[in-house]
Structure 1
Amino acid sequence: MARELIYAFRVMRLPLLDAGGATIGRIEDLVAVPGRPARHGQPRSAPRLVGFVASSQQRRIFVNANRVSELSSDGARLKSWDVDLNPFKPRPGEVLIGEELIDRRLGDETVSDIGLVAAGDGRSSWWEIDKVRLARRASLGRRSTYRLADVAEVPGLFTDPTAMEAEAARLRDFHPAEVAAVVRALPDHQRRQLADALDDQRLADVLEELTEEEQIRIVEGLDRERLEGVFDEMEFDDVADLLGQMPAAQQERMLDAMDDEDEAVVRRLLSYEAGTAGGLMTPEVIVLGPSATVAEALAQIRDPDWVVSIATQVFVTQAPFKTPTGKFLGVVHMQRLLREPPAMELRQLVDDVPIVPPTMSDREVAVQLASYDLLAIPVCDEAGRLLGAVTVDDVIDRMLGTEWRKRHRPTSTAAAPMAATGRSG
């Protein structure tokens, strides 16, 4: 049975709809990646749609194809209500169908449209390029002629990127743990190639999902400028964990790649013994003074860069408000903030919570977190200054040991084809 074609030209300018059907933007273009080349007796796979470029709130944003539940004449409807408003930036290996494929000359023909079909493997679904509508300009006085070709008949449609650039594009917006599973399945030289194809933020996120041994094998091949960019995107505690596994000479080379302020923070974290609260803590937490308001606190919590375990509470201290802070006063939990008027000062809402010294063992920290049902626990020095916080996810990582990441296989079906490809090549 022939699969129903969806033409790219018709998709472009369709409304972008939220999960309830309300218009929140408009589709401007479609983002595709080339299919994987034939290997080990398997035919070349079809080029795949990875997402849409849309205009929303006067921004040009990327919408992952996995987040779209339905494409119809009414528009592209999202599965959920949230939208990532970060500006769209094309990545190596990606092709904009409207901007780069439609109207492209291929010999004496021109690409007039691209036909997409829904595909799947029983575990996940996607859209792939199936047909190419080609136009041939006729001689004077005659109409142009058109034909519909299988995508496999048009080998010049894509300019092939490197294999790892294409793979990095396919992995756009997959969870870092899923990408880490792909990286782990690759031989060392392909790991480095994939690392080169990822941008700094994406590589930093993936490194945080790998073991320290696997991280070292990747970062030791990066030049100084790339190291500086990647370290700038990583959490300080993750950088410290990574550097703590390196020989002294290599550690100094990595520290030298950081700016002076970041280097000082990481050196302070490295000064704590492994297996202690100081060795586990992150110095990056939300810190405000007692006169700050509920509105100010909620504005901080809304920042999407905060991990969930940190964004559930605000740490209230005397000045200065950067770790090490002034005297620690307590915390205000997000649920309390949501119940109080915006102008109320935090001094009226502070709750006492247990604090731990940087020398406390990781096991005792885990007991404190469990006993008080906390997602993060403050770490304070003898003078009562806030040094940072230990989050429950970091404690779980420590309790599971270093080998769990190697054994872990993400349950997302979206990552499964990627991991299989890594094993085969």
Structure 2
Amino acid sequence: MAGTPRVFVAQLAGLPVFGPGGESIGKVKDIVAALRLDRRPPRVLGIVVELPTRRPIFVPMLRVTSLESHAVALSTGSVSLRRFEQRRTEVLVIGQLIDKKVRIATTASAATVIDAGMERTRTRDWIVNRLAVRERTGRLSRRSPVQLLNWTDVRGTDLTDLSDNTTLGTQQLLASFEGIRAADAATVLRDLPPARRYEVADALDDDRLADVIEELPEEDQKDLLAHLDEARAADILEAMDPDDAADLLAELPSGVQERLLELMEPEESEPVRRLLQYSFDTAGGLMTPEPIVLTPDATVAEALARVRSPDLTPALASMVFICRPPQATPTGRYLGAVHTQRLLREPPFDLVAGVIDKDMARMSADASLAEVTRFFAAYNLVCAPVVDDEEHLLGAVTVDDVLDHLLPDNWRELGLGDMPTRARTSPRMKEAGRA
């Protein structure tokens, strides 16, 4: 897109809009941005163009080829001529944000939004990342100078203080959850009042709620699970990764733990029961029982197809484990592993048996957290096999699970700026004699 890398939206109001052939389409009426549930700058969705008939229509930002000080140009492609209707999860930057009363975060001073700056990112999205504000002094004879602040330095907009916005219903909150990472959704869910938190949890589908619960601190996990009826709690545990489900169940009273395991489908509860046999600070307690496992007669193409699964984390997708049947853990005899990077260099119809890394080290299930950490540091891996004494693959440990146990227990509640420079020893490690 041509034009200035940063644009102030007040300058766009009323500008003429031209089509790809130079024909006049209308004029800019407003800018539409998406409400966010975290404090990051909102993404610009498009512009509202007022046609000569005075009908307002929505034009996506993908159709905008240039934003200049004198005009806006559109690319070829179809645009809906339906009358624009604002959604509850959207904000009109000119009509609703400019002239809004806000607070400056650093000084808590009252201010008024004078303008908003939007900028294009490396991903080619536009975001509203700057606000021009004027501090309100209460003195009619004197006007404060305009300050240009980062979006995160301003409080009081519906976008950043959404957790306090009681006018948004549950459905609007759910719509705002779309497109954000589970970790970000978990942060928002944790900040909601308990009643709203439970409403949102009840309305989320099982898979999405499971993803969010995995990102919550331990106490919040237990609180949400206790809120759900036991049948749905069991469904959520089934949707979670087995190692995360085992970690959560290990924190519950034994009676509750057993009832939930009984309510789970046997094929889902069996790997969780196996993980519960291991201490949380061992390779067995850290591992996932569902790595990518193939037999030696599989082709490189088959291995790459498994690696491409969107359900895999990048760490699990970095390696394919080759074993004799059965392929479900605990597998038949473990033969070795193939790195995804190696698969990319081989002909697709070659067998994986020919590219196995047979010399790669493996861990035992009782390896301590300190041993697992040294293993990853020594071999520069992000995923590693866990094998028993009879050479059966039990699962795989990924580096993200190791970090999860090395960081302080409350790391999910801390902002990046609040994170200590050296991880503290968690209370659970102290209890295990690892202070």
Partners of 2:361 and 2:222 lie apart in 1 by 36
Cα distance, 1:49 vs structure 2: 8.2
Could you tell me which amino acid in structure 2 is paired with residue 374 of structure 1? L
Match of residue 135 from structure 1 = none
Q: 1:396 aligns with which of 386, 398, 403?
A: 403
Q: 2:363 aligns with which of 356, 360, 363?
A: 356
Partners of 2:174 and 2:76 lie apart in 1 by 28
Q: 1:304 aligns with which of 302, 310, 316?
A: 310
Partners of 1:317 and 1:50 lie apart in 2 by 49
| Cα RMSD (Å) | 3.6
Structure 1 unaligned regions, length at least 5:
11-30, 37-46, 52-64, 77-97, 103-111, 127-159, 412-425
Q: 1:284 to 1:35 in 2, by over 3 A?
A: closer
Deviations 1:18-64 (A, max 9, x none): xxxxxxxxxxxxx998999xxxxxxxxxx99879xxxxxxxxxxxxx
Partners of 1:271 and 1:75 lie apart in 2 by 61
2:220 matched to 1:177?
no
Cα distance, 1:409 vs structure 2: 5.3
Q: 2:207 aligns with which of 201, 209, 224?
A: 201
What TM-score results when the alignment is normalised by the length of structure 1? 0.63
Partners of 2:370 and 2:117 lie apart in 1 by 44
Partners of 2:380 and 2:263 lie apart in 1 by 39
Match of residue 267 from structure 2 = 261
2:237 matched to 1:231?
yes
For the Cα contact (< 8 Å) 2:234–2:261, is it kept in 1? no
For the Cα contact (< 8 Å) 2:243–2:275, is it kept in 1? yes
For the Cα contact (< 8 Å) 1:118–1:125, is it kept in 2? no
Could you tell me which amino acid in structure 1 is paired with residue 205 of structure 2? D
SS at match of 1:389: strand
For the Cα contact (< 8 Å) 1:33–1:49, is it kept in 2? yes
Deviations 1:177-200 (A, max 9, x none): 111111222232222122123222
Partners of 2:207 and 2:331 lie apart in 1 by 28
Partners of 2:372 and 2:76 lie apart in 1 by 50
Match of residue 165 from structure 1 = 171
Match of residue 341 from structure 1 = 347
Cα distance, 1:252 vs structure 2: 1.8
Could you tell me which amino acid in structure 1 is paired with residue 316 of structure 2? I
Match of residue 123 from structure 2 = none
Deviations 1:144-169 (A, max 9, x none): xxxxxxxxxxxxxxxx9962321121
Q: 1:191 aligns with which of 197, 210, 213?
A: 197
Match of residue 252 from structure 2 = 246
> Which deviates further from its counterpart, 228-237 or 326-335?
228-237
Match of residue 125 from structure 1 = 127
Partners of 1:171 and 1:50 lie apart in 2 by 16
SS at match of 2:337: strand
Match of residue 331 from structure 1 = 337
For the Cα contact (< 8 Å) 1:273–1:279, is it kept in 2? yes
Partners of 1:223 and 1:235 lie apart in 2 by 20
Partners of 2:34 and 2:408 lie apart in 1 by 37
> Which deviates further from its counterpart, 388-397 or 243-252?
243-252
For the Cα contact (< 8 Å) 1:181–1:410, is it kept in 2? no
Matches within 5 A, 1:13-412: 71=64, 73-74=74-75, 112-114=83-85, 125=127, 163-351=169-357, 352-408=359-415
Could you tell me which amino acid in structure 2 is paired with residue 163 of structure 1? G
Partners of 1:177 and 1:35 lie apart in 2 by 14
Q: 1:191 to 1:396 in 2, by over 3 A?
A: same
Partners of 2:377 and 2:275 lie apart in 1 by 24
Match of residue 158 from structure 2 = none
Could you tell me which amino acid in structure 2 is paired with residue 357 of structure 1? S
Deviations 1:118-159 (A, max 9, x none): 676779836xxxxxxxxxxxxxxxxxxxxxxxxxxxxxxxxx
Structure 2 unaligned regions, length at least 5:
1-9, 20-31, 47-59, 66-73, 95-115, 120-125, 129-165, 419-435
Percent identical pairs in the alignment equals 41
For the Cα contact (< 8 Å) 1:4–1:117, is it kept in 2? no
Give the greater-gyration-radius structure (CA): 2
Cα distance, 1:254 vs structure 2: 2.0
